[in-house]
Amino acid sequence: MKVLLTTLNAKYIHTSLALRWLYVANKDKFDISFKEYVIKEEVITIVDDLLLQSPDVIGLSVYIWNVEKVKLLIDLIKEKSPQTIVIVGGPEVTYEPDYFVENWNVDYLISGEGEFVLGELLTAISTKSEPIIEVCRKEDR
């Protein structure tokens, strides 16, 4: 299972420490990588670049500055590649998980710190077992 973590940073000079922590915490257990973009980039270009890497799972960090573009990004990912599993996390979704699961085209949402929860969720997905309590699933709604 190929996993790609991504986010849309506010500027080129910003980097996402969250993606790096998620990567480091899970790199020995999964085929996982990360790629960053900025909110100024065209969404369709980002989607094409992400899907060019043929991920089975795309994980996105959602922040106040990228929430609208990430929603559009997810909609386009699901339109072009409906089988791709989409996981969201980050500060913006943590405080209103029900809203995002009910109104966004995501498969899973991690609420709170995700460094170890992500690994447990990826294990659950790959073994087709039940995810842990910190995870909201679209199919449970």
14, 122, 12, 8: which is closest to 66 by C-alpha? 8
Output the CA–CA distances (angstroms, integers) from residue 90 to 38, 52, 81, 129, 141, in the order listed: 16, 24, 23, 24, 20
Beta bridge partners of 5: 34, 59
**Mean pLDDT in order along the chain per 10 residues (141 residues):** 95 76 92 95 97 98 94 98 96 89 93 85 90 64 52
pLDDT digits (tens, 9 = 90+) for 56-94: 999 999 999 999 999 999 999 999 999 999 999 999 998
| Separation of CA 105 from chain center | 12
- Helix (H) or strand (E) run with residue 120 in it: helix 117-127
The per-residue b/e assignment along 60-76, b for 16 or more CB within 10 angstroms, e otherwise, is bbbbeebeebbbebbeb
- Strands 108-110, 135-137: pairing is antiparallel
The arrangement of strands across the sheet holding 108-110 comes to: 31-38, 2-9, 57-61, 85-89, 108-110, 135-137
What is the residue-averaged pLDDT of the chain? 90
Question: What's the whole-model pTM score?
Answer: 0.91
Q: Could you give all domains of the chain from N- to C-terminal order, each with its CATH number?
A: 2-140 (3.40.50.2300)
DSSP SS3 for 84:
coil
